[in-house]
């Protein structure tokens, strides 16, 4: 049964990858501002090219298929692009492909043929040379041929504000003994910092904490350009961008062209902001985020940029107003998803919590959609349909472990200086002494009683 559940999970993940592939393919053609003639030309161009599907296979997409995907997108959004999971049954287990990549990373001089031979020797069987080669090529683990001239890249600048945001993470100083990371997004055209936040980890939760408020305040960009760090390739970011209609672009490994603006901003952060931070006095991230926001808004945004000659905020405002997502759309975009099997009691478990769901779902593997910061509000979906909210039955954890708030732990209380056990011991000693003194003056006593040996009391 565990193997069946794992297979269902794998199919669902691959279906999600297919939907993301379809979305990225039609994203530009789905622009509502295009005329029918312009859209038709783009569809023909898509159909004329050879594409690489999510599993490394070269494919051609017919015009009819592209039109059908566009129709699905307009009518049902991202979820409508999800294929039935039976269409994406994996041929080669992901574990085997991961092992092939690990063998190549372990020794980059290994050829694809050598990797295949090692797999066959280790597993008793192995995928084809073509399958392994495509997988390594997709991960950019194949060395470029010697003597090939490097590509030349010219300077690029977006034509208008919110056409492209560039995001990255900066490793900062240690705050209260823990390293701080700055996630930031810079508008490529204006150099305005549209989103930023210092966090205690370089992960998708801290990334969302910087990007989500940026989208609410600065609007939705046409594209977001990021590197291949773990936080930026996380499915949570990919799903959020897809649901908001943002084209997510990853730079090519080893060739970070187009990232100069965010790197220049980070250099400015080091030279003008971090140099003034007294880390001995900064005890939590709130004490770092507050002055950083003030520095961005009062200094960086109001000083003429050396390349544009304009203030970044002024140059960005020239393109206003920008489309801003509704709170509900933003909330839905940044929700997480996990698969769970419904028990015979019509319950599901998530992070040690138990929830009641519809009895008709017993035995099914359902998708739970939730905000990682609020595990009391969970939507249940199966087969592309919503089955309402999961009713909390037993809640032991209100937030996902990865979504821990970064507020500082409460300071330990100041010591009172009271030693309770010493007080008790002192009181007992005092009572013993008083008992001795009283016995000395008992009426009719000719001789004082002998002093009590206190050592006997302690034995």
Name the more confident of 42 and 6. 42
Q: Residue 232: its pLDDT value, please?
A: 86
> pLDDT band for position 414 (50/70/90)?
low
Is pLDDT at 117 greater than 50 in this prediction?
Answer: yes
Is pLDDT at 388 greater than 90 in this prediction?
Answer: yes
> pLDDT band for position 434 (50/70/90)?
low
Of the candidate ranges 10-19, 179-188, 335-344, 436-445, the one whose mean pLDDT is the lowest: 436-445
Is pLDDT at 439 greater than 60 in this prediction?
Answer: no
Instruction: Measure the CA–CA gap between 105 and 111, rounded to whole angstroms.
Output: 11
Is pLDDT at 10 greater than 50 in this prediction?
Answer: yes
Kindly list the strands in the beta sheet with 353-356, ordered across the sheet, starting from the edge strand earlier in the chain: 336-341, 365-371, 374-382, 385-394, 353-356, 347-350
Q: Residue 417: its pLDDT value, please?
A: 67
Range 244-249 average pLDDT: 90
> pLDDT band for position 313 (50/70/90)?
very high
Q: With DSSP H G I counted as helix, E B as strand and the rest as coil, what are the percentages for the chain, rounded to 5?
A: 45, 20, 40
The dotted CATH code for 164-317 is 3.30.420.10
Instruction: Measure the CA–CA gap between 249 and 258, rounded to whole angstroms.
Output: 11
DSSP per-residue letters across 36-63: HHHHHHHHHHHHHSEEE-TTS-EEE--H
Beta bridge mates, 178 = 175
Instruction: Measure the CA–CA gap between 84 and 385, rounded to whole angstroms.
Output: 12
- Listed by start position, the domains of the chain span 2-88, 94-138, 164-317, 335-403, 420-458
What stretches of 376-444 show up as alpha helix (H) in DSSP?
Answer: 420-440
Residues 209-213: contacts with CB under 8 Å, at least 24 apart: 209/183, 210/183, 210/184, 210/185, 211/167, 211/183, 211/185, 211/237, 211/240, 212/330, 212/334
Q: Residue 239: its pLDDT value, please?
A: 86
Q: Residue 115: its pLDDT value, please?
A: 84
Range 134-157 average pLDDT: 60
Instruction: Measure the CA–CA gap between 387 and 366, rounded to whole angstroms.
Output: 10
Q: Residue 436: its pLDDT value, please?
A: 52
Range 58-74 average pLDDT: 89
419 CB burial (10 A radius; 0-12, 13-18, 19+) = exposed
Range 155-174 average pLDDT: 89
Name the more confident of 28 and 366. 366
Range 272-288 average pLDDT: 90
> pLDDT band for position 87 (50/70/90)?
very low
Q: Residue 432: its pLDDT value, please?
A: 66
> pLDDT band for position 452 (50/70/90)?
very low
Is pLDDT at 264 greater than 70 in this prediction?
Answer: yes
Instruction: Measure the CA–CA gap between 377 and 29, rounded to whole angstroms.
Output: 35
DSSP assignment letter at 64: H
Range 269-295 average pLDDT: 91
Q: Residue 413: its pLDDT value, please?
A: 58
Q: Alpha carbon of 394 to those of 336, 342, 363, 411, 434: distances in Å?
A: 20, 15, 20, 31, 58
β-strands 385-394, 374-382: how paired?
antiparallel
Is pLDDT at 408 greater than 60 in this prediction?
Answer: no
> Which DSSP helix (H) or strand (E) runs through 193?
strand 193-199
Q: Residue 409: its pLDDT value, please?
A: 47
CA 273 to chain centre: 26
> pLDDT band for position 405 (50/70/90)?
low
**Torsion of the alpha carbons at 46, 50, 56 and 62, rounded to the nearest 10:** 60
Q: Residue 192: its pLDDT value, please?
A: 96
Q: Residue 107: its pLDDT value, please?
A: 82
Name the more confident of 444 and 121. 121
Range 104-110 average pLDDT: 83
Cis peptide before 434 (omega within 30 of 0): no
DSSP assignment letter at 219: -
Q: Residue 85: its pLDDT value, please?
A: 53
Is pLDDT at 269 greater than 90 in this prediction?
Answer: yes
CB 170 within 8 A of CB 268: no
Q: Residue 33: its pLDDT value, please?
A: 79
β-strands 58-60, 336-341: how paired?
unpaired
Pull the structure tokens for residue 159. Answer: 């034509």
Instruction: Measure the CA–CA gap between 25 and 15, rounded to whole angstroms.
Output: 15
Phi and psi for 29 in degrees, rounded to 5?
-70, -20
β-strands 223-226, 247-250: how paired?
parallel
Tens-digit pLDDT profile for residues 185-194: 999 999 999 9
Name the more confident of 242 and 459. 242
Rg of the chain over Cα atoms, rounded to whole angstroms, equals 32
Q: Residue 377: its pLDDT value, please?
A: 92
Q: Residue 259: its pLDDT value, please?
A: 77
Range 380-393 average pLDDT: 91
Instruction: Measure the CA–CA gap between 451 and 156, rounded to whole angstroms.
Output: 98
Tens-digit pLDDT profile for residues 198-215: 999 998 899 999 999 999
pLDDT cut 90: percent of the chain above it: 38
Instruction: Measure the CA–CA gap between 336 and 15, rounded to whole angstroms.
Output: 16
pLDDT cut 70: percent of the chain above it: 80
Is pLDDT at 412 greater than 50 in this prediction?
Answer: yes
DSSP per-residue letters across 81-131: GPPPGGGG--SS-HHHHHHHHHHHHH-TT--HHHHHHHHHHHHS----HHH
443 CB burial (10 A radius; 0-12, 13-18, 19+) = exposed
């Amino acid at each position: 049964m565990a193997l069946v559940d794992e297979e269902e999970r794998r199919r669902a993940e691959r279906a999600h990858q297919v939907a993301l592939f379809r979305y990225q393919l039609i994203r530009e053609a789905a622009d509502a501002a295009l005329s029918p003639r312009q859209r038709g030309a783009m569809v023909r161009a898509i159909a004329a090219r050879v594409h690489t599907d999510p599993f490394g296979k070269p494919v051609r997409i017919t015009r009819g298929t592209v039109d059908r995907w566009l129709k699905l997108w307009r009518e049902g959004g991202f979820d409508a692009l999800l294929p039935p999971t039976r269409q994406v049954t994996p041929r080669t287990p992901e574990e085997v492909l991961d092992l092939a990549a690990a063998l190549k990373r372990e020794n980059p001089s290994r050829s694809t043929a050598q990797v295949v031979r090692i797999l066959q020797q280790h597993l008793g069987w192995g995928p084809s040379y073509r399958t392994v080669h495509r997988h390594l090529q997709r991960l950019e683990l194949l060395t470029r041929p010697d003597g090939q001239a490097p590509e030349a890249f010219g300077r690029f600048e977006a034509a208008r504000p919110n056409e492209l945001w560039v995001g990255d993470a900066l490793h900062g100083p240690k705050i209260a003994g823990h390293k701080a990371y700055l996630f930031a997004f810079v508008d490529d055209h204006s150099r305005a910092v549209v989103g930023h936040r210092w966090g205690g980890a370089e992960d998708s939760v801290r990334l969302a904490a910087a990007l989500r408020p940026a989208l609410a305040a600065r609007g939705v960009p046409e594209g977001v350009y990021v590197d291949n760090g773990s936080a930026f390739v996380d499915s949570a970011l990919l799903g959020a961008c897809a649901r908001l209609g943002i084209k997510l672009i990853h730079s090519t490994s080893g060739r970070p062209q187009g990232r100069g603006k965010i790197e220049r901003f980070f250099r400015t952060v080091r030279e003008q902001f971090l140099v003034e931070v007294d880390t001995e006095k900064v005890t939590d991230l709130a004490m770092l985020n507050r002055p950083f926001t003030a520095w961005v808004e009062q200094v960086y945004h109001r000083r003429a940029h050396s390349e544009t000659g304009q203030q970044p905020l002024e140059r960005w405002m020239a393109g206003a107003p920008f489309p801003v997502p509704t709170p509900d759309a933003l909330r839905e975009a940044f929700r997480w998803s996990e698969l769970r099997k419904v028990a015979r009691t019509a319950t599901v478990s998530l992070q040690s919590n138990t929830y009641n769901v519809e009895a008709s779902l017993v035995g099914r593997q359902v998708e739970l959609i939730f905000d990682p910061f609020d595990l009391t509000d969970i939507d249940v979906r199966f087969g592309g349909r919503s089955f309402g909210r999961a009713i909390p039955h037993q809640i032991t954890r209100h937030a996902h472990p990865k979504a821990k708030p970064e507020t500082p732990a409460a300071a330990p209380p100041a010591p009172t200086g009271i030693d309770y056990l010493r007080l008790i011991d002192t009181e007992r000693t005092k009572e013993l002494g008083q008992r001795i003194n009283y016995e000395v003056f008992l009426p009719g006593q000719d001789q004082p009683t002998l002093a009590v040996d206190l050592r006997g009391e302690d034995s």
